[in-house]
Amino acid sequence: MKYELVVVGPLETNCYLVYDEETRECAVIDPGADPEKIVAAIADLELKPVIVLNTHGHVDHIGANSDIVRKYAVPLAMHTADTGMLKVSDYIELSLLLGARNSPAPDRLLAEGDEIAVGRTSLRVIHTPGHTPGSIGFVYGGVLFSGDTLFCGGVGRTDLPGGSWKDLERSIRERILTLPEETVVLPGHGPWTTVEQERSSNPFLT
């Protein structure tokens, strides 16, 4: 499996295309904005989307779900606990800024331990509540797509509705820092990092 990063929207959300190099099947993680940019990257790499995945339900991660799901006629999957966040009218100013559209309802509800097939391999779901109740990460090989749970040198904010610092800290310590230390962490915003680097130097965790 390989991945391609497409940075979308004014909040610079990291949308990832995770794909099987041979079959070219791909999962689209967090199409938050700029659908035309995501579509262009998919075309450039000659990928065949098979599913859209959301790490959580915030509007800057789901704003282009509708465009991508319709264009490729693929299912949408996210955690049950964030399905109440998919109407952009709930955050109208930010949604206008992002050009976000209402997301369709998910076709598949994800939970801890689920496997999502992409080409010849699969992504494993880890449930990491805290930033939102339904925040999840996707793991394959030595890579974690962490959403807004853990960043390079930072952690997700917990002051938005449904956020919990206690849950976030537990998720990071028990579900992420327990992964192999060389695991590459690909967050929902900003640069990549590793489990080892965050365990040793993240100011929110040391």
Residue 167's CB: how many other CB atoms inside 10 A?
Answer: 19
* Residue from the set 82, 148, 167, 198 that interacts with Fe ion by CB under 5 A: 148
CB of 93: closest distance to Fe ion in angstroms?
A: 16
Residue with Cβ nearer Fe ion (58 or 127) = 58
Residue with Cβ nearer Fe ion (148 or 198) = 148
Residue with Cβ nearer Fe ion (149 or 183) = 149
Give the whole-angstrom CA distance, residue 114 versus residue 65: 21
CB of 160: closest distance to Fe ion in angstroms?
A: 7
Binding of Fe ion at residue 58 (CB under 5 A)? yes
CB of 131: closest distance to Fe ion in angstroms?
A: 6
Q: Which residue is nearest to Fe ion (CB)?
A: 58
DSSP strand pairing (115-118 vs 108-110) = unpaired
Give the whole-angstrom CA distance, residue 125 versus residue 122: 10
**Phi and psi (nearest 5°) for 91?**
-140, 70
CB of 56: closest distance to Fe ion in angstroms?
A: 6
Residue with Cβ nearer Fe ion (45 or 152) = 152
- For Fe ion, how many residues bind (rule: CB under 5 A)? 2
Query: Quick check: 114 and 125 in contact, CB under 8 A?
Result: yes
User: How many alpha carbons fall within 13 Å on the CB side of residue 114?
Assistant: 18
Residue type, 98: L
Q: Footprint of Fe ion on this chain (CB under 5 A)? A: 58, 148
